[in-house]
Amino acid sequence: MKQWKKTGVASMDEVEKILPSRERRAKGGYVVIECFENIPCDPCHSACPFEAILPFENINDLPKVDYNKCTGCGICVPLCPGLAIFVVNEAASEDTALIAIPYELLPIPKKGDKVDGLDREGKVVCEATVHKVIPGRNKTTTVWLSVPKQFAQIVRHFK
């Protein structure tokens, strides 16, 4: 049985299966859609102005991404009702990565704030810096964090 079905938290093996190639990851920002359950949902496809999130054959399909089209813009991040979409930019600098995280809590952090980067289980794994904050139309804010590069695929929330 898949870990996310037992615990509600995806394993790194499960996450690795949805990531683009290492070569693509080195080129700049890309979307990571941590949606592992077939449910009727497709706003991510409609949100993408670059058509990088491919059309669904069935409304219950899992999202598929054409990473040649994905720019890592983050427009899709606040539109996922499951808060399952992130953007990761491992090429942000030599030592750090940027991660766009959907955020629906108050208070909303400010650029430059130091926060604790949390893994999928809510455990503190590193210090992060708020890089930018983009208010959303649907009350979901996108918070871009700067994290040490080795935590690019680990940090998925903050406090």
Q: Given a cut of 80, is residue 4 above it in pLDDT? A: no
pLDDT (tens digit per residue) in 49-72: 999 999 999 999 999 999 999 999
- Beta strands 85-89 and 30-33, pairing class: antiparallel
Asked if 32 and 88 count as a contact pair (C-beta separation under 8 A), the reply is: yes
Instruction: Specify the higher pLDDT residue, 2 or 95.
Output: 95
CA distance 121 to 152: 15
pLDDT of 43 reads 92
CA distance 49 to 72: 11
Confidence of residue 137 (pLDDT cuts 50, 70, 90): confident
Q: Given a cut of 80, is residue 155 above it in pLDDT? A: yes
CA distance 23 to 80: 27
**What contacts 118, CB < 8 A, 6 or more positions away?**
124, 125, 155, 156, 157, 158, 159
Q: What is the pTM of this model?
A: 0.94
Confidence of residue 122 (pLDDT cuts 50, 70, 90): very high
